[in-house]
């Protein structure tokens, strides 16, 4: 207990850095490299309008005559276009930057929606229990028995047909966020419910009840903060999943329109040209997608290990 007598409070950052999480991060080269790559991709895509030499959304900058230039290191390239151009003559490098931005945005927003729905439902199911719990969890089972893609395809196809493709394309990003968000809430709900059931038995919850606190306060102020570790872990994995779902839907033509391509629609638009020799239109965004999803998953793995209390007990 000698540490208690130190007068100066360590800053929040150095507390994190010296904590078990910080320590396990420093000791894990895979996690360090993954985080660096992820941050690099994230920062570049956030600042895409500043970095990108062209604006892929500006039709005035696109010249169909520039189409299908290969990347710099391949014969017949144009020095303007580092990674070449796509079938419409858009600079691939700029388009990828903007596309990654969209993919990340959709992925993160969809996960925020999932988390909101899933955490609320999971907390209520776990804490209230009984019939409410049974009802909510059966709903989750039903939801899970439809695959995300199936739900998304049906929903997006119907909306596309209802609103017409023009309106759909305009609001595609919101539809994607909504459908991916709604389709995957049971993942959160189940995890949260399981943690809540474990936390609910602990004496600090009883102690809060004896003090007269209401169920809302106990759920939000007491149980939720103690259920965050598994939520963090699945969140990383879910962001990766959401990005893949978005890419798959866009690849199938149900996602972002070709005029505002995400990584998935880029891959899809290049797919027709892959056998005519223009492999880069598909391959380069494909690699970006794979790397992005991989580093997120690696970070998720590390986080799961680091937050598992069994591992740092000894």
Residues that bind other proteins (CB under 8 A): 1-4, 9, 23, 202-204, 206-214, 217, 221-222, 225-226, 314
Closest approach of other proteins to the CB of residue 4, in Å? 6
Closest approach of other proteins to the CB of residue 43, in Å? 31
Closest approach of other proteins to the CB of residue 14, in Å? 15
What residues contact 132, with CB distance under 8 A and at least 6 apart? 124, 125
Closest approach of other proteins to the CB of residue 7, in Å? 9
Cβ closer to other proteins: 2 or 145? 2
Cβ closer to other proteins: 223 or 243? 223
Cβ closer to other proteins: 8 or 276? 8
How many CA atoms are closer than 13 Å to the CA of 169, on its beta-carbon side?
A: 10
Cβ closer to other proteins: 167 or 209? 209
Cβ closer to other proteins: 36 or 209? 209
Residue 219 near residue 121 (C-beta atoms within 8 A): no
Closest approach of other proteins to the CB of residue 27, in Å? 9
Closest approach of other proteins to the CB of residue 235, in Å? 18
Closest approach of other proteins to the CB of residue 119, in Å? 16
Token output for 39: 């941050």
Residue 22 near residue 16 (C-beta atoms within 8 A): yes
Cβ closer to other proteins: 86 or 199? 199
Cβ closer to other proteins: 22 or 89? 22
């Amino acid at each position: 207990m000698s540490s208690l007598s130190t007068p100066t409070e360590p800053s929040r950052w150095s507390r994190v850095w010296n904590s078990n999480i910080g320590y396990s991060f420093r000791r894990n080269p895979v996690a360090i490299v993954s985080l660096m790559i992820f941050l690099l991709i994230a920062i570049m895509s956030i600042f895409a309008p500043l970095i990108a030499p062209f604006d892929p959304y500006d039709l005035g900058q696109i010249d169909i005559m520039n189409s299908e230039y290969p990347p710099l290191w391949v014969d017949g390239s144009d020095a303007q276009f580092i990674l070449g151009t796509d079938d419409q003559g858009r600079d691939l490098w700029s388009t990828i930057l903007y596309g990654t931005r969209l993919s990340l945005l959709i992925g993160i927003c969809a996960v925020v929606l999932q988390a909101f729905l899933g955490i609320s439902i999971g907390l209520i199911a776990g804490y209230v229990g009984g019939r409410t719990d049974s009802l909510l969890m059966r709903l989750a089972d039903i939801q899970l028995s439809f695959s995300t893609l199936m739900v998304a395809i049906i929903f997006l196809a119907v909306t596309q047909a209802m609103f017409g493709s023009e309106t759909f394309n305009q609001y595609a990003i919101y539809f994607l966020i909504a459908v991916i968000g709604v389709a995957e809430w049971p993942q959160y709900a189940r995890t949260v419910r399981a943690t809540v059931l474990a936390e609910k038995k602990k004496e600090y919850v009883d102690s809060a009840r004896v003090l007269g606190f209401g169920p809302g306060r106990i759920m939000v102020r007491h149980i939720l903060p103690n259920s965050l570790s598994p939520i963090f872990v699945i969140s990383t994995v879910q962001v990766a999943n959401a990005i893949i779902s978005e890419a798959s839907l866009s690849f199938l033509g149900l996602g972002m329109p070709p005029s505002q391509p995400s990584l998935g629609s880029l891959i899809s638009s290049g797919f027709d040209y892959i056998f005519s020799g223009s492999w880069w239109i598909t391959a380069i965004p494909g690699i970006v997608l794979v790397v992005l999803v991989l580093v997120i998953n690696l970070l998720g793995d590390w986080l799961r290990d680091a937050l598992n209390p069994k591992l740092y007990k000894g």
